Amino acid sequence: MCGRYTLTRSDRNSLATELGVPADHLRDYTPRYNAAPMQRLFIVISEYENRKIVPARWGLVNRWAKDNSRASQCINAKAETLEVRPSFRDAFKKRRCVVPADGFYEWTGPKNARRPMWIHRADGNLILFAGLYEDWFPEKERPETTFTIITCEPNPLMRPIHNRMPVILDNRAADDWMNPTEAEPLSLKRLLIPAADDVLLAQPASPLANSVKNDGPELLVAT
């Protein structure tokens, strides 16, 4: 699964360039060292062949839902079952997104001494998680966008750490994935595969990452 991630770029203008969006889309951006479920973050979607930043809360809520009580159970979606699960089926057909990050956490060790590992790209580039999004209405005529991160089988690096990993797309695959005019969404499942063996590195992180109350650069320093 993927339950915490980071996006630590300090320069919003260079981040906008990396994401292929106008700089003013990120005017409210701040670096995140411990992004967590149910928090308000942001996603990237494709609109009229251009990329667009959309503020969104992590934990998908279907547009027909009466409340968000199941959001915490929908922070991840299995790639293998997107087209059949009622929670994700419609979004898979019509509302695909990417979630920008530069790393994510997984935990190792016994239950009483869990240790966070920060997994990031070996080349330092951004990570683009494959995601889905939905709008629901906590208040009449006031929609809220929510999202989920898609997971797949682990690659050799991740296998000793966890039995799932987030789907990571390159820029070209991201554009294909987000294309809202795709007539055959099932064909896009070809993109939902583990990252190549040499893409990621895993390094110990600080136990401070265990608490969502902590969110600073010290989380990436092993102690």
Residues with a catalytic annotation lie at: 2, 106
Helices (H), the chain: 12-19, 89-94, 171-178
**Cα gap 21→171, rounded to integer Å:** 13
Q: How many Cα atoms occupy the beta-carbon half-sphere of 179 within 13 Å?
A: 15
Q: Which two tokens stand for residue 66?
A: 């009466």
User: Counting beta carbons within 10 angstroms of the beta carbon of residue 133, is it exposed (0 to 12), middle (13 to 18) or buried (19 or more)?
Assistant: buried
User: Strand 50-58 to strand 142-152: parallel, antiparallel, or no bridges (unpaired)?
Assistant: parallel
**Cα gap 207→88, rounded to integer Å:** 33
User: Counting beta carbons within 10 angstroms of the beta carbon of residue 61, is it exposed (0 to 12), middle (13 to 18) or buried (19 or more)?
Assistant: buried
> Among residues 136, 190, 211, 179, which one has the least CA distance to residue 50?
179
Which residue's entry shows tokens 């922070």?
75
Q: Which two tokens stand for residue 34?
A: 């411990």
What's the longest Cα–Cα distance across the chain? 50
